[in-house]
Structures are given as C-alpha cells and as structure tokens.
Amino acid sequence: MDDKNVEMKSYGVPDDSDQSHQHVSEETATARGRRGGTVRDEQEMAYFGKEQQLKRNFGFWSIAGFVCSLLSTWEGLFAAFLYGFQNGGPAGLVYGFIFAWLGSLAVVASLAEMASMMPLSGGQYHWVSILAPGRWAKFLSYITGWLTVIAWQAGQASVAFLAASIIQGMVVLNHDSYVPTRWQGTLIFYALIFVIVFINTFLARWLPKIEGLILIFHVLGFFAIMIPLVYLAPHGSAKDVFVTFINAGEWSSDGLSWFVGIVTSVFAFLGADSACHMSEEIHNASTVVPNVMMFSLLLNGVLGFAMLIAILFCLGSIDDALATPTGFPFIEIFLQATNSKGGATVMTGIVMLLMAAASIGVMATASRMLWAFARDNGVPFSNQLGRVHESSALPLYSILVCTVTSLLLSLINIGSSAAFNAIVSITTASFFTSYAIPTAMLLHKRLRNDPVKDNIHWGPWKMGPILGPIVNVCALVYSVIAMFFSFWPSTATVTLQTMNWSALIWGGVIIFSVIFYVVRGKHNYKWPIVDPIRRNQ
C-alpha cells in the first residue's frame, strides 16, 4: 500500500474502495455502536479523523432540554428587558423580537445543515476547515476556533453573573435597607459556579436526566409566571403595546433606536450552537442535533413571544419599573402585578433558578468547545486540555480551565463593573462572527461547486439547492446586522460607564488570534480536514 493510502487509512478516511460512510443501510447506520453511539456516529467520526472518546448519553429530549434551557429565551427577555425598552419601547420590542426570531431561524438552519454534515464537537471551526478554500482553510478555521472559545467563556461568565445579580435584586426587594455591593455579587457568583461545576463533574452521568427535568421546569415555569402575571396585573391597551415607540437613548431617529434595541431579542436567542459542541455525546448526532436545534428555537420563540406580549400588556407603572432599586424592571412588574413581595419573590426565584440552570449547559458547552480545539492543538497546553479522563469520560482539564476563567473574570467586577461588562459584552459579536464565517463558506461552496464534488457529503438534514442559498444569505445579513449593533452603546451621549467597549475587545481578540496563529498556530494547529493530504499543501 502506498504512503497516501496509509495516511488516509490512519485517519479513518475512506478511499475509493471504502465508501461505507455513505453506502450503508439505515438499519445498520442506526445500530448501537461503542460508548452509546451508532454505527453512523462512529463512521462520521472516523471520516473526519476523530476517535470516539466521550460517552454518547444524550438523546433527543435530553439534549432538547439542554439547548432550550441554555437559550433561556423567555427568561433572558426579563434579564435584558431594560436595554430594549429604552431603545424601541413596547412596539420596538415586539417587532424586534419577530425580526430576531426569523433571523435566528435562518442562522440556526444554516448551522444545523452543517452540523448534520459534520457532527463534531468543534462545530464552527471544524466546518470552516472543511468548507473553506484550501489556502484559507487553516487560517480561517483557527480564527473561528478562537472566536468560538472566547464567546463561550464570556457567555459562561455573563449568564452566571446575571443569575447572581437577580439574587441580589431579590434581597433588595425584601430588605429595603440592603445596598448591594459588587464584592457580594462576586461571592454569590462563586457559589453558583461551584454548584455548576459539581453538576458538570460529579453528577455528569445524570446530566441528560437533569436536563430533561430542566426542560419540564422551563415549560412549567413559563406558565407559573404567565398565569398570575396576566390574571392579576392591570392591562394596557393594544395601542400601548403595538404602536408606542420610545427613544430614551436620544438617537437621531426611532429607526436607529430600534436597531440599537434589538440586541435584547438577539441576546435571547444566542447559544443554539451548543448542541453542535455536544455532538460527540449525542446518540445518532447527525440527525438529532439539527432537529433539536430547530425544535429548540421554535419552542423558545413561541414561549418568548407569548411572555413578551404578556409583560408589555402588564407593565403597570413604567416609571416605577425603570426606577426600581432592584436593578431589574421585571421584579417591579411582578411586585405591581401581585401586590405582594412574597409573590414577586417566588416569581423572580423561578427566573433566577432557570438562569442558573442555563449556566449548567453553558459550562458543559464551553468545556467541550475548549477541549475540541485543544484536541486539534489550537490553544496553549493542548496536551493537557485535550485529554479525556478515562474513567469519567469527561474533559476534566477543560472544565477546570473554564471554571478558573469564570472565577478570574468575576474578580474584575469587584474593581470595575464597566471593565467586567466590557469583557463579557463581546459574547454577541464573537458568536455571530463564528456563525457568519462557516455560513459564508457553505454559501460559497454551494454557489461555486456542490460540496459532494469535493468529497463533502450532505447529512440527513439538508435544505436543498434552492432554499439553502436563500436561507444562507438571510443568515449572513442578519448576522452582520446583529454583530454591528451589538457594538453600539445604549445612549447617544456616552460616558466611561455607558460606553460599549465590545468593539475594542472583539478587535483585540481578532488581533490576538492572528498573532497567535503566526507565532504558534501556523506550525502546530492540526486543522480538521477530510483528506489529510491537504495538510501538506
């Protein structure tokens, strides 16, 4: 056998005489393989040169619970309500939500198609490596990998910190004399992180069941808040909800104010790619992952839109809601609706618990993404971070680094909340950059040459030659809009505290990853490919 065939076989890539990756019956493909996967799962891993190291414990409903709770769409609307209300008002929030939902559906459909083709934990950077033109593949893959890693690390800190801040808001609600401090918020954050890490390590074998229960709580919690809110609160008029725009940021036009405010709804749909990064722990991943991504976005969109309409009809005193000492207008809305601190506390507690539950999935996703990138030698200390603990089948070193990163980031908040917010604010821009690059590569491949001709086979979930390009274009347009306006401050007149520093931080991440690529990645990064021969080009 010649050297080329030896190299291809060593990576599990089929040559002309071995096309089992594609030509296998459905019954055989879905038969049980090793570590809880199917024969198809094993073939797809081997096709892209990867070995099965993690246990495939997740099925459709458990990973659906994972993604739905992580998205936290209706819960996230509560947390980010103020930003969108000041820039757009009730009508702006309604139409901004619809815009963000449709745009997110286009983005997630594009990602789902690639996840079905290449169900690997690296997600975006894997897809870019396979789909990008040969001379750009390694570089673009590396940059995408760093952006995705940073997005999930910042996302972990921001979601857990939101939950910690809501706890402080609940204390303010019940104790008028309490004045929240940043160091207390950091300690609460630490307590949440330790619980999250405990669940992701010692209780990891039960994580699929836990996520299934969280899905039930996610839906029941929606009704537990919706019913008393709608029943007890005074209702506004349809005109107040669907016609009233607010431009509290004093932008030059209501239209510009609306675009600035859509960040609230954009934030509420971030994170659907989490299923992609858990692909190597999902049974029959090429089918389940894309279906779960679309299901989660549809379910959360319905729940989120219904909750948004309920909030806007039940606002009560807007001035009191915006001036609440709790820091969260939704807590004051609950208080006005129930006329009871106890009732408002229970309703707020549901939101807080679900935000904390979302952090469980964010930690799991962030660690898998870091582990996958380390497996391809994309980060420093890759030998350690790319390891999987043999008995637990968990990337424990990556989980540890994610934990330490979150703890260190939270320390910044003690010294300066503006600095902390600046760092975590890159989440939206980094996510959408990591979405746009592979989507652009897929569209380029579609328009220039069918991927199948380059030995890149479509997965079970695909949109087709007509709908696919249209959806890809819509996804790119939406990603650019969302990323661009994520850089804008909430008001036209900015101070050091109100300035949005995310553009600066995002640019710094890009520059860092480029420099690191030149210094290290260009020589050490084992970019994922179909044909290992390309690595020598």
Q: Worst-scoring range by mean pLDDT, 82-86, 128-132, 366-370, 420-424? A: 420-424
User: Residue 9: its pLDDT value, please?
Assistant: 33
Paired tokens of 16: 């002309």
pLDDT, position 498: 79
> How much is the pTM?
0.91
Average pLDDT of the chain to the nearest whole number: 89
Contact status, residue 93 vs residue 308, Cβ threshold 8 Å = yes
Of 440, 360, 441, nearest in space to 402 by CA: 360
pLDDT, tens only, 4-55: 333 333 333 333 333 434 444 555 455 555 555 678 888 888 888 888 999 9
Cβ atoms 521, 378 nearer than 8 A: yes
> Taking residues 311-321, what's their average pLDDT?
91
More confident: 40 or 461: 461
Q: What angle do CA 127, 129, 131 make, to 5 degrees?
A: 65
Domain edges within the chain: 60-536
User: Predicted confidence band at 421 (pLDDT cuts at 50, 70, 90)?
Assistant: confident
Q: Average the pLDDT over 246-267 and give the result.
A: 94
HSE on the CB side for 519, CA within 13 Å?
8
Token reading at 4: 């080329």
* Non-local CB neighbours of 28 within 8 Å, separated by 6+ positions: 39
Q: How far apart are CA 243 and CA 325, in angstroms?
A: 28
Mean pLDDT over 351-365 rounds to 97
147 against 426, higher pLDDT: 147
**Mean pLDDT over residues 508-519, rounded?**
94
The dihedral built from the CA positions of residue 334, 413, 195 and 52, taken in this order, carries a sign that is positive
Quick one: tokens of 398?
């990556």
Q: What is the mean pLDDT of residues 104-128?
A: 97
**Backbone angle region of 24, left / alpha / beta, with phi > 0 → left and psi within -120 to 50 → alpha:** beta
Q: Using the structure block, give the residue that is written with the tokens 């979601």.
A: 159
pLDDT in tens, 371-386: 999 999 999 999 999 9
Read off the pLDDT band of 79 (50, 70, 90). confident
Structural contact between residues 115 and 289, judged by C-beta atoms closer than 8 angstroms: yes
pLDDT number for residue 5: 37
Average pLDDT over residues 194-206: 97
pLDDT category of residue 1 using cuts at 50, 70 and 90: very low
pLDDT-based confidence at residue 413 (cuts at 50, 70, 90): confident
Backbone angle region of 235, left / alpha / beta, with phi > 0 → left and psi within -120 to 50 → alpha: beta
CATH superfamily of 60-536: Amino acid/polyamine transporter I (1.20.1740.10)
pLDDT at 295: 98
Structure tokens at 232: 């007890």
Average pLDDT value for residue range 487-505: 87
Contact 13, 24 (CB under 8 A): no
Could you give the CA distance from residue 80 to residue 244 in angstroms, rounded to a whole number? 19
**Dihedrals φ, ψ of 87, to 5°?**
-120, 85
